Amino acid sequence: MTAPRDPKHSRLFSIVALSVAALAGLLGGCELEPDARLDAAEAPRSLDGTELDGAFSYDRDGHFVLDEGAVQAFDYFLTADGELSPAEIDAWVQQSLRAEIRSEARRGEIMDAWYAYLVYRAEAAEAAAGQAPPSAGAPAPAEPDALEATLAAALDRFEAEVGPGPFVTHERAQLHRAVAVRAAYALDDAAERDAELARIDQAEAERFAHSRAGRYLAARDSVQGLIDAGADDATVQAARAEHFDAIEPGAAERLAALDAKRAAWNAKLASFRTERQSLRDSWVASPAGLDEAVAELELERFTAAERRRVHALERLDDGAGL
């Protein structure tokens, strides 16, 4: 009898969520002459009101490091696939980098990693397409099977392009874990199989707990617990400095600045909504005139980017009320 598959283990062999066809289209638009790039690339409308996920990091020599934050940023750009053309996505990435990063050399390194990332994901998706996840009783190959060998080769090529780094290390660890899971599922004895899978999960949990992401989540939970308990600002900031600065120097200060920025935005939005409601309550002229007055109020209170954010939040609020 075939044992039920653990979705968590099955997901190891569904390595990429992006379709091969979509990525192939993206790759076809990567080689652009400078005069073919869009001068006015904008974020897709579906991402109005959002901010770039992740962040770009650099080593002590100032060179770009492909880590989890960079991959989050790349995946954020890839969410526009299907809404923007390949050329538009490429132009959007380049414009976003120009707006955030002054160094042309750093932008060049990031773009090189972007293109290499697309190639790697496309190769991984093609290798995994149509592959069944591991199942109990399946024979364990003496050597890595075709899927695992193909993924390992794709990762080797990717590392040759971008160099060693946190993301490559993570991907290689995941591949090794996938091989171990496949071997565990091949065990005939159910108790032995379950024990081996539990051992693999425990090893992964310990690895994650010591990873940057695991330490960050633990720090976030600890600080959030203080906030939920009603701790004062000084206590919260001290906890942030203790936990987050140990992960990355200056992180606590940046988080405090982000909190202040969010608080200022929420206050600005609340003030606008109060004024808008007061305007609506006191309006006696035509509805069209009210719409114009509200639009004028928006123009007075917000920049163009902020207005897009306001409208996105309004759409979310309207959807939640359905």
What are residue 232's phi and psi, to 5 degrees?
A: -75, 170
Determine the pLDDT at residue 32. 34
- What is the residue extent of each domain of the chain? 7-210, 212-249, 254-322
SS3 58: strand
Determine the pLDDT at residue 277. 92
Q: Which of 122, 103, 109, 206 is nearest to 161 (CA)?
A: 109
Q: Cβ distance 9 to 133 under 8 Å?
A: yes
Q: Which of 156, 174, 124 is nearest to 18 (CA)?
A: 124
- Two structure tokens written together for 214: 């695991």
pLDDT tens-digit map of 193-218: 888 778 777 766 666 666 666 677 67
Q: How far apart are alpha carbons 220 and 223 in whole angstroms?
A: 5
Q: Which residues pair with 225 in a beta bridge?
A: none
Q: Which residues contact 138 (CB under 8 A, 6 or more apart)?
A: 182, 185, 186
| Identity of residue 241 | A
Determine the pLDDT at residue 9. 37
Alpha helices of 19-103 — where are they, by DSSP H?
20-28, 68-78, 86-100
Q: Which residues pair with 284 in a beta bridge?
A: none
What are residue 58's phi and psi, to 5 degrees?
A: -140, 155
Q: Cβ distance 162 to 112 under 8 Å?
A: yes
C-alpha torsion sign, points 111, 113, 116, 120 = negative
pLDDT tens-digit map of 127-175: 766 555 555 555 554 445 677 788 888 888 888 888 888 888 888 877 7
Q: Which of 200, 199, 203, 193 is nearest to 5 (CA)?
A: 193
Q: How many CA atoms lie within 13 A of 279 on its CB side?
A: 18
Q: How far apart are alpha carbons 15 and 315 in whole angstroms?
A: 33
| Distance from chain centroid for Cα 286 | 46
SS3 230: coil
Q: What does the pLDDT profile of the chain (322 residues) look like in tens digits?
A: 334 334 343 333 333 333 333 333 333 334 333 333 333 456 666 666 566 777 888 888 888 888 888 888 888 888 877 777 777 888 888 888 988 888 888 889 999 989 888 888 888 877 766 555 555 555 554 445 677 788 888 888 888 888 888 888 888 877 777 777 777 777 777 888 888 778 777 766 666 666 666 677 677 778 888 888 888 888 888 888 887 777 667 777 777 777 788 888 889 999 999 999 999 899 888 888 888 999 999 999 998 878 888 887 777 666 544 4
Determine the pLDDT at residue 214. 65
- Two structure tokens written together for 161: 């392009």
